[in-house]
Structures are given as structure tokens and as C-alpha cells.
Amino acid sequence: MPRNVELKARGRDLARAERVAERLSGGAGRALTQTDTFLRAPRGRLKLRDFGDGRGELIFYERPDSEGPKLSHYSISPTADPAGLVAVLSQALGVQGVVKKERRLYMVGQTRVHLDRVEGLGDFLELEVVLSEQQSPEDGERVARRLMEELGVQEEDLVAGAYLDLLLAGGSPT
């Protein structure tokens, strides 16, 4: 199962983070619209991501709900019928909630840098350091911490859990 080291933080200054991400990645990044439907699952998290253009992904992942860099194990299966798949899975498993976001994706080395505007929550920055087989979680944490510093992310900006958790808890200050 693929692994990455992830962190999520409130986006204090997304314009600054965007300039830094563009410089580090060498490009303008890719704009994405995503609707994530979180389904009830006996363990971990299961979501159907709809890109709004006929493409989607079924994503299962397990990771601790703690602040700061954390190890995540995940599996992704693409689908050409996200609406149909979410309808069937919703009937079978039930829905926990839906997260809608506008995302700008940058690739910085082995790291996916996400600058997110989440409906009902505001601005966030997410890092996903994709680990090779030979890399340890500590290697990924070092990469994440270096990028945190370059992007201006402070420890107090870090958030635990998923966007869904924040929405279910009543949102967060933006």
C-alpha cells in the first residue's frame, strides 16, 4: 500500500504560499475542483472524489488524526463514473459528509503541495510527501518540515484530522 507523510495547516497567507510554491515547483500549478463524499467505513476513511469533469477516484486511507506530519497509508482507484459510484456506495454504506474545495496543486520534488479553499472553512495548505519504499516516515517528516518553513507554516497553524472533521465540528475561524 502506498505511503506518504501528510500535514494540514490553516492558510494564513495563501498568496505568499502560492508565490513560494510556484518558485519551488517551477510552474503555476494546476487548478482542481473537488467534491469529496466521505462514506461510512469500518476502519480508516473512504471517500469518493469527483473532479466535476466525469473523472473521479475512490480513495481509502488510514492515518492518525493528529497535528503535524503523520504517516498515511492509502489506496486509490480511478473511476469514469463518480456520480454513479457515489450513489451506489452511499446506499450501501451511508454518507458521513461532503467536502467541496478549490485546490491548486504543485509538485515540489516528491511532495504534492495543495493550496485549498474549502467551502465553509476557508483557506488551507496541505503537504503530502510521497515516500519511496526505501524512505522512512522520519525522512518524509524532514521533507515536510523543510517545506513548512519555506511556505511560512507555523506550528500553531497545524490542524488535526480531515476537512470533514472540521466541518462536522462546526467549521473553523477563517
Write the CATH number for 22: 2.40.320.10
Asked, for residue 34, whether it belongs to a domain, the answer is: yes
| pLDDT of 58 over the 60 cut | yes
The domain of 147 spans 3-168
Look at residue 172 and tell me whether its pLDDT is greater than 60: no
Burial annotation 74-88 (CB, 10 A radius, 16+ → b, else e): beeeebeebeebbee
> Does some domain include residue 118?
yes
Instruction: Please indicate, yes or no, if residue 31 is contained in any of the structural domains.
Output: yes
pLDDT at res. 173:
46
pLDDT digits (tens, 9 = 90+) for 20-54: 999 999 999 999 999 999 999 999 999 999 999 99
On the question of pLDDT at 96 being above 50, the answer is: yes
The answer as to whether 174 is a domain residue is: no
Question: 173 lies in a domain?
Answer: no
pLDDT at 174: 42
